[in-house]
A = this chain, B = another copy of it.
Amino acid sequence: MTDRCPADEPPAQPSKTPERLWRELLGEQLRSARHGRGETLHGVAHRAKVSPQYLSEVERGRKEASSEIIAALGDALGLTLLDLTTGVASRLGASSASASRGGFRLAA
């Protein structure tokens, strides 16, 4: 039997964090904007002419919204595509920064 210390072993994914997908980040951004306005799925979905079930799936990153639906959901939330892409970019920036901090902590 070897007496190996697990801490000496390289992690399964040394430096690469799981890749976030566009639809997941967009969904988080839409949900966060809706919550920020204190709105229900029903209200936003109604204005965007989609079903509340569909909006819920988009918000959870389960459904891939077309560009036209993204625009309609943005409109319903008072957000432009610039707002949405900037929001997604800052979510990604924040998550990559926290992954880096995690990396430093593990390496220390």
* A residues whose Cβ falls under 8 Å from a Cβ of B: 19-25, 64, 66-68, 70-71, 80-82, 85-86, 88-89, 92-93, 96
Contact = CB atoms under 8 A, between A and B. Distances in A.
A85 B92 contact: yes
Interface of A is mostly: helix
A20 B81 contact: yes
A22 B82 contact: no
Contact of A64 (B24, B67, B96): B67
A82 B71 contact: no
29 contacts: A19-B71, A19-B81, A20-B81, A21-B68, A21-B70, A21-B71, A22-B70, A22-B71, A22-B85, A23-B66, A23-B67, A25-B81, A25-B85, A64-B64, A64-B67, A80-B92, A80-B96, A81-B88, A81-B92, A82-B89, A82-B92, A82-B96, A85-B85, A85-B86, A85-B88, A85-B89, A85-B92, A86-B89, A89-B89
